[in-house]
Chain A
Amino acid sequence: MSAEEKTAWLAVGLFAVGVVAFLVLIPFGGVEPALAGFSVVGFSGLGPLLFRKKRDSKEVAEDERDKKIIREATLGAAHSCWCVAVMACMIPWGIHMFHDDMTISIHALPRVVFCGLFTFILVRSVTILVLYRRGKPNGED
């Protein structure tokens, strides 16, 4: 398993932990404070440090296939992130466009940013796992 694949598993696992933490925290303070449960996803940034290739290894750490997978996953994640950001801005406007006195809270803005960030991390990680899995029929020698 490549370092990138392990990092993707870590991110998906942490996202699952974040969802569980969010659901567990809801009864204690409502939905707003429970969103803090997703902060564990930030630890996925430690992946590249935790799964570094050993220096004395003769095998290369990353080759053309890895780079292609990472490029495709990052592109897909960027597109998804863009879609989420557009929807987060346009849907509330579409719903309330006929109400002249409507305002939105300033606190909605960081939520749009985090929503886009989480979408990026999740889509990129899942795409990496799927693309690696496609080229691995049984892994025997």
Chain B
Amino acid sequence: MAKTELKNRIRRLRFDHDEMTQKELAIRVGVTRQTIIAIEAGKYAPSLPLAFRIAGVFGLPIEDVFQYEDEEPAANE
């Protein structure tokens, strides 16, 4: 099974949006600050609705905030 990773630019985007704090973002998307910390560190993959809400806060499409990376190429290509 291929190893996969969900990367994101949330930290960069927060600083670009008037240095928004993790707490502010957490309140705006309706989660705890600990969840934002875990998402930023790539240790928790958010659900699709939450990912869309986070992207919506920054006014960007979801693919500009989250990037899905496959570490191993598919075998039959």
Please report A residues at the B interface, Cβ cutoff 8 Å: 2, 58-66, 132, 134-137, 139, 141
Contacts and interface: CB of A to CB of B under 8 A. Distances in A.
Contacts of A141: 21-23
Which of B21, B22, B34 has the most CB atoms of chain A within a 10 A radius of its CB? B34
A3 to B, nearest CB: 10
A137 B31 contact: no
B37 interface: yes
B57 interface: no
Interface of B: 21-23, 26-27, 30-35, 37-38, 41, 43-44, 46-47, 50
B51 to A, nearest CB: 11
Nearest to B32: A63
A141 B21 CA distance: 6
B44 A65 contact: yes
A65 B23 contact: no
B38 A136 contact: yes
A25 B35 CA distance: 43
A66 B47 CA distance: 13
A139 B22 CA distance: 10
Nearest to A134: B43
Given A135-B34, A137-B37, A137-B41, A59 B47 contact: no
A65 B32 contact: yes
A3 B34 CA distance: 12
Contact of A137 (B30, B32, B43): B43
B31 A2 contact: no
A64 B33 contact: no
A64 to B, nearest CB: 6
A59 B33 contact: yes
14 contacts: A2-B34, A59-B23, A59-B32, A60-B30, A63-B31, A64-B31, A64-B35, A65-B31, A66-B35, A135-B34, A135-B43, A135-B44, A139-B34, A141-B21
A2 B38 contact: no
